[in-house]
Structure 1
Amino acid sequence: MRVTVVRGDITAEQVDAVVNAANNAMRGGGGVDGAIHRVGGPAVLADCRARFPRGLATGDAGWTTGGDLPARWIIHTVGPNRHAGETDRALLVSCYRRCLEVADELGARTVAFPLVGAGVYGWSVEESAGAAREAFDAASTAVEEARFVAFSDAAYEAASAALE
């Protein structure tokens, strides 16, 4: 699997699936989650409600329609919230591992990732990228490209250093 890092807006990526850094409720939120729901439109929330009536556990992943996004699917994953006491790094690694497993179930070959857990959930870009690298190195997947999409120049530099 090829791992790349780009600077941009994950909602505009031309890939099979985009990964959403969701919250447990699976009803939209701020940051990446809010942007994906806004651009994806009401079909995304409707699919979240239908597929995840009780939400999703931390470290797990599931999929919905891409709605109005260029991507066909959204793979939602719930990262651990360090500020809420969820400091087990294995949960962060699990997010990336589960995303690849869901991508394989869907037949997705190109997947755009945010830096799960980095930002409001309190993990650094380096910690998130390191967890991704660990999951990817151990994965047996048909995904051909894992593309990390950094929203800021600082995140792009840190992710590039950690992943490439």
Structure 2
Amino acid sequence: MSEKRQLLIVAHAPSPNTLALRNAVVEGARHPDIESITVKVLAPLDAGPDDVLACDAIILGTTENLGYMSGALKDFFDRCYYPCLEQTQALPFAFYIRAGHDGTGTRRAIESITTGLRWRLVQPPLLCRGDFQQDFIVQCEELGLAVAAALEAGII
């Protein structure tokens, strides 16, 4: 492939730990072996429909807030839903959740909205549950690498 494809990462990172997770996803997506993917990283409040329409795949990241996704990610979906609905069907996506509890409500909410958008989940949801663990960083890096590699290979 000679044309670069774009991977958009939209992640809410309000704490040092969630920033470390987002940075790990970015590091994985920008692995030196990945040559034909451009990675764009935005906070949910900075991302909009034009960013989604310009990407070839998206990774979402959020905290679990009161059993739901962050307000920032919900705002992103509110602003992007209708402008993107007809033009992003089958958009490959993946997501991770930093959950202090079980993350179930957050996962369901994201799956409900992305099902409505008709986006295509290309990796199992990554739930980083309970007390923060260094392994979460490794898992997020692997998520970024897996999505970027699949996008580069034309698998997604």
Specify if TM > 0.5.
Answer: no
Higher strand share: 2
TM-score normalized by the length of structure 1: 0.40
